[in-house]
A and B are shown apart, each in its own frame.
Chain A
Amino acid sequence: MSDPAQGSTVEPTGSAASSALLDVAGLSVLLEADGAQRPALRDVSLTVRPGEAVGLVGESGAGKTMTAWAIGRLQPTAAQVQGTIRFDGTEVGRLTGQGLRAYRTQVAMIFQDPRAHINPVRRIGDFLTEALRINHKMPAAQARDRAVDMLAQVGIEDGARRMRQYPHQLSGGMLQRVMIAAALLTEPRLLLADEPTAALDVITQAEVMAILAGLRREFGLAMLFITHDLDLAAAICDRTIVMYAGQVVEVRASALLHTDPLHPYTAALAAARPDITQTAHRLPAIPGRPLSAFEAPLGECAFAPRCAHATEVCRTGLPGLVELDGGISRCARARELRGQLQAAHDA
């Protein structure tokens, strides 16, 4: 696990990140809505190195889930995908048949609502061993044993009994552990975790996060961790990517997100979270509401209408990506505002 204090662990996008496990460059996704093509993602670029945990943070509609779907080749069939996604050097968009199936074995997705994402009429054991039996042609008994072992690793002790049960007999927290176990059984190299704890209560959330983080480190897996919770991402990921309106607006080492953010939106997100150790007289909420990609205007900074630091230059053109201090920002005034953005966060 790379040391975030070093600060220079971030590769700027576009450069030959040849050691990257996952390399997304210029990803744009267009969806058909009301007869017109509307963007869901605009020019998204990110990299994940082997064994690295990267957080993907944003509010609803920011495009986080669509990014994960695009990486996992799960986007709706009507969606148009532009740009490249490379996994271990291979272009994912071109994969078909056997190659695509092999790719899916190496990239495992953990979904948000486990109860909706596990087939209610099939047993837990079936769910866990399905991929092993069908894709890897593993004999049923062997698959079963491995599943029971993995269940123990996620904290479910009486695995054999649980395997015979149906999803409705397990709680949400247990189901999410089952989902994690299933994801790890095929020995993937990259985990795409889409808000894995959003549907759980706070205590269960902490347990599941601990299991996920622990196992990830143990197996040396790379992870793209999607969440709306900036602090959660910062806690378990080395780097954090912030998205707004379908675009990447900041990439930063997690430790520096609060102390030295590079984009006003990140600072605002961090400030909006009430700090339990301090008394606030007013909760600083970001005015306005989050835009999704197809609502955002094309020729200016999407965050400008809600930004406390917006000026004319922000409205004259779409800001490009700026490299600063090992991080990336899509703020037109990033250099000027450097060092001032965390002011709202300080007591």
Chain B
Amino acid sequence: MLAASLLVASFVIFAALYLAPGNAVAALSGGRPLPPGSVRVLEQRYHLSAPFFAQYWYWLGNALHGNLGVSITLRENVSTLIASRIWTTAGLVLYASLIIVVLGVGAGIVSGLRPGRLDTSALVATAVSAAIPAFVAAIALILLFAVKLRWFPVLGNGTGLVSNARHFTLPAVALAFASLAIVARVTRAAVREAADRDHVLTAVSRGIPARYVIQRHIVRNAAIPITTITGITIASLIAVAAVVEVAFSLNGLGAYLVQAAQTKDIAVVQGISLVLVTAFVVVNLLVDVLYALLDPQVTLGAGPR
């Protein structure tokens, strides 16, 4: 199913070239005037004289071998350009994921284990933080922590691991911010629901200490919906990372994608889109695998749908 997703997605990405107004060459060159020699090169490289599906086939085959074409603006291999930026994006998404898991899931578990109903102020706080998109959070964070308090640097990647961590902290928080609330809420609901289950009563009736009951019967059971929401949230980070990268001038795939879109560097746009969609699909696949591992009633392939 996910492989089919990927295939269709790659096709859409490829076909986008042909949706553009004008002919393929014009799209590839982004409307720039080209010397005739270059036109011939483009025609050869992209097999433009071959039928449509054959072109798709060539393109896909090349992509699977790591050949994603050449950037029309930088005149370098797209794959090289991607490789140099992919760790920025990956690092950002991983850092943000860490924040979501530790803070979001952590807060959810802690508040879920405490009895009492969720009061209105907590619900409103959730609604507020969920409403703050990454780029708004970005400017607020820059203002507060970088300019006023000077705790973190404002822009750029930094060099070396510690410097990277410092540079990436505000962006990661901005990226994670809107998702924290929903993850915490769903986690809390899952923990509360798991705690109300009858089998928890059985464990208590046998004198199992609270610590073990929480670990083995509440959190372990709540892990299933928690994994699902966390996985979905992390997958969604992949796209929003672009916005954060632009806001903080990070040298990542997302920022480069936006740049390429603005300069109509189609090959780059296609290449990066393919990478991002693949990452998205892979994360979803991991969530499915985890789900099957956690829930013995589910076999891989059936999925939680």
In this complex, the member of B206, B221, B294, B295 whose beta carbon has the largest number of chain A beta carbons within 10 angstroms is: B206
Across the interface, A168 reaches (CB within 8 A) one of B201, B205, B212, B296, namely B296
**A77, B210: Cα distance in complex, Å:** 14
A118/B209 in contact, CB under 8 A: no
* Minimum distance in angstroms from B152 CB to a CB of chain A: 41
Question: Quick one: given A77-B115, A166-B297, are A113 and B198 in contact (CB under 8 Å)?
Answer: yes
A119/B221 in contact, CB under 8 A: yes
Across the interface, B217 reaches (CB within 8 A) one of A77, A105, A119, A131, namely A119
Q: Does B199 lie at the interface of the complex (its beta carbon under 8 Å from any beta carbon of A)?
A: yes
**A223, B209: Cα distance in complex, Å:** 25
Q: Does B110 lie at the interface of the complex (its beta carbon under 8 Å from any beta carbon of A)?
A: no
Q: Does A338 lie at the interface of the complex (its beta carbon under 8 Å from any beta carbon of B)?
A: no
Q: Mark A125-146, 1 if CB is under 8 A from B, else 0.
A: 0000011001100000000000
Q: Does A7 lie at the interface of the complex (its beta carbon under 8 Å from any beta carbon of B)?
A: no
What are the residues of chain A within 8 A of B207 when measuring CB–CB? 100-105, 131, 135
What are the residues of chain B within 8 A of A244 when measuring CB–CB? none
Q: Mark B279-305, 1 if CB is under 8 A from A, else 0.
A: 000000000000000111100000000
**A131, B213: Cα distance in complex, Å:** 11
Q: List which B194-240 residues lie within 8 A (CB) of chain A.
A: 197-199, 201-209, 212, 216-217, 220-221, 224
**A206, B124: Cα distance in complex, Å:** 55
B202/A118 in contact, CB under 8 A: yes
The interface on chain B, measured as residues whose beta carbon lies within 8 A of the other chain's beta carbons, has a size of 23
Interface of B is mostly: helix
What are the residues of chain B within 8 A of A119 when measuring CB–CB? 199, 202-203, 216-217, 220-221
A135/B198 in contact, CB under 8 A: no
Across the interface, A109 reaches (CB within 8 A) one of B205, B294, B297, namely B205
Residue of B nearest to A165 (CB): B296
Count A/B pairs, Cβ under 8 Å. 71
A121/B221 in contact, CB under 8 A: yes
**A103, B199: Cα distance in complex, Å:** 19
A74/B297 in contact, CB under 8 A: no
* Minimum distance in angstroms from B140 CB to a CB of chain A: 41
Question: Quick one: given A116-B197, A116-B198, A134-B212, are A74 and B296 in contact (CB under 8 Å)?
Answer: no
What are the residues of chain B within 8 A of A135 when measuring CB–CB? 206-208
**A119, B295: Cα distance in complex, Å:** 11
Q: Mark B110-127, 1 if CB is under 8 A from A, else 0.
A: 000001000000000000
A131/B296 in contact, CB under 8 A: no
A130/B208 in contact, CB under 8 A: yes
**A100, B212: Cα distance in complex, Å:** 16
**A72, B207: Cα distance in complex, Å:** 10
**A182, B207: Cα distance in complex, Å:** 13
* Minimum distance in angstroms from A189 CB to a CB of chain B: 14
Q: Mark A181-193, 1 if CB is under 8 A from B, else 0.
A: 0100010000000
What are the residues of chain B within 8 A of A120 when measuring CB–CB? 199, 221, 296-297
Across the interface, A117 reaches (CB within 8 A) one of B198, B216, B295, namely B198
* Minimum distance in angstroms from A69 CB to a CB of chain B: 9
Q: Mark B251-291, 1 if CB is under 8 A from A, else 0.
A: 00000000000000000000000000000000000000000
Pairs across A and B, CB under 8 Å, 23 listed: A74-B201, A74-B204, A74-B205, A103-B207, A105-B207, A108-B205, A109-B202, A111-B201, A113-B198, A116-B197, A116-B198, A117-B198, A119-B199, A119-B216, A119-B220, A120-B297, A121-B220, A121-B295, A122-B217, A122-B220, A131-B208, A135-B206, A135-B208
Interface residues of A (CB under 8 A from B): 72, 74, 77, 100-105, 108-109, 111, 113, 116-122, 130-131, 134-135, 166, 168, 182, 186
For the complex with contacts A77-B115, A119-B203, A135-B207, 11 further pairs of A-B residues with Cβ separation under 8 Å are: A72-B205, A101-B209, A103-B207, A108-B205, A108-B206, A113-B198, A119-B216, A120-B297, A121-B294, A122-B217, A166-B297
